[in-house]
Amino acid sequence: MKEYIRFLILIIVLPCFMNLIAFSESTEAYYPLKEGKTWEYQMSLSSLLGAGGTQKVIVTNFAQRKMKDKIVTPQKIDMLGLSSFVFVSKDSEGIFEFATQIPGSIEPKIKPLPNYFLKYPIKVGTTWNYETQTILLQKNFSINLKCSIESINEVITVPAGTFKGCVKVKGVGSRKERMGMLFGKTDINVEHYNWYAPGVGTIKSIIKEVSNKMMIGSGTFSIQLESYK
């Protein structure tokens, strides 16, 4: 059971951190990519399995490398004794997830198309689509999130301190899923909220997933920055 819970938390954390990476006209502004940078987060989640308590997540930047003709920044995600990697790349449109590598995988898995976390310009009203999957329900559903920058001047307090001038990004998506004759259609609604502090990076994130069927469930995930260096 403990191994199952560890794996569950891991598959929750990895895609969540994929959603948390930000970029601006200056890379260092909202997500420093310098080698050796480290962030420690407090993570909490709740779902049909109950509250997961608070866990520590550590994210570390590694040296840039070339992968399939792309320059990527590997980011190592450590928790519960397990490590995963997200490989981030950028272009003239913004920053995107290029590949991921979960524990036990020999090689990274490259995404077929760029999946942008944040797009230019960094100003209120900028919108884009982001493809993701639910991670807190009893079944994974593909969801297209409509993301938008809602504010560029938020003041946010987390365990690491109070940060001004933060960028707030909201992503919302929904779908209907037929679950058979017995249960009919299931409504799935997802909301993502991310905050990025200038010169620091991701400081807070909240993910909410709701369905109208008890067998599918609902859940909430959140992280807050505890320290960085």
* Domain locations in the chain as residue ranges: 2-228
Residue 184 confidence (pLDDT) above 80: no
Four-residue CA torsion sign, 130, 209, 140, 12: positive
* pLDDT value at residue 214: 83
Amino acid identity, position 174 = S
Q: 163 vs 69, 192, 195, CA distance in Å? A: 37, 20, 10
- Residue 182's φ and ψ, nearest 5 degrees, are -70, -40
Residue 71 confidence (pLDDT) above 90: yes
- Cβ contact 78:102 at 8 Å: no
As a whole number, mean pLDDT of residues 96-124 equals: 88
The DSSP H or E segment spanning 13 is helix 2-18
Task: Give the other-Cβ count within 10 Å of 206's Cβ.
Answer: 16
pLDDT level of residue 5 (50, 70, 90 thresholds): very low
pLDDT level of residue 210 (50, 70, 90 thresholds): very high
pLDDT level of residue 14 (50, 70, 90 thresholds): low
Residue 18 confidence (pLDDT) above 70: no
Residue 24 confidence (pLDDT) above 50: no
- Cβ contact 61:40 at 8 Å: no
Q: What is the pTM of this model?
A: 0.83
Top-level CATH class of 2-228?
mainly beta
pLDDT level of residue 49 (50, 70, 90 thresholds): low
* pLDDT value at residue 226: 98
- Cβ contact 117:19 at 8 Å: yes
Round to whole Å and give the CA distance between 203 and 30.
10
* pLDDT value at residue 135: 84
- Cβ contact 150:168 at 8 Å: yes
pLDDT over 90 percentage in the chain = 52
